[in-house]
Amino acid sequence: MPIVQEVVSPLQQAFIPNRSIHRTIQTTKVIASQIHHNPDSPNLILMLDLTKAFDSLDLNYLRRVLNTINIPPDFINLLISTQNSGMARILNGPKIIDYAFPLQRGVRQGLAISPILFNLALEPLICKLASSINGR
């Protein structure tokens, strides 16, 4: 998806073609070292760990984000339908409950497109944080 490189800011490195999470790790090490050697420096490290990140993504929110970046509605419907088709069953010890129910939120971790969709969903938050930090 070439559009991803245009839409997702350079602040996100994971799962984006021609970007590397290793660059982010190296940058983090440099900033941490600067902070350690000069605690009064204006540097900041913010680390977020989103619990059950893929599972918690609201598909209606994802749809709004995709609309915002002008993805065609038919393609959005296709993308959402790939995420909406999951079913789950409850496991009670060794016994599986017969009733299957639809999974109505989250992106499926086994699909190649899921990390990119998650990146797109995070982009508004990352841009808002960056603007806030930069005083805009």
Give pLDDT, residue 85: 66
More confident site: 97 or 28? 28
Whether 136 has a pLDDT exceeding 70, the answer reads no
- Enter the tokens of residue 3: 């559009």
Q: What is the value of pTM for the model shown?
A: 0.73
Instruction: Compute the average pLDDT of residues 86-101.
Output: 77
Whether 1 has a pLDDT exceeding 60, the answer reads no
Average pLDDT of the residues of the chain:
83
CA angle 84, 89, 93 (to 5 degrees): 150
Beta strands in the chain (DSSP E): 87-92, 95-102
- Segment holding 101, helix H or strand E: strand 95-102
Give pLDDT, residue 101: 76
Percent of all residues in the chain with a pLDDT value above 70, rounded to a whole number: 96
Instruction: Compute the average pLDDT of residues 8-21.
Output: 86
pLDDT band of 68, cuts 50, 70, 90: very high
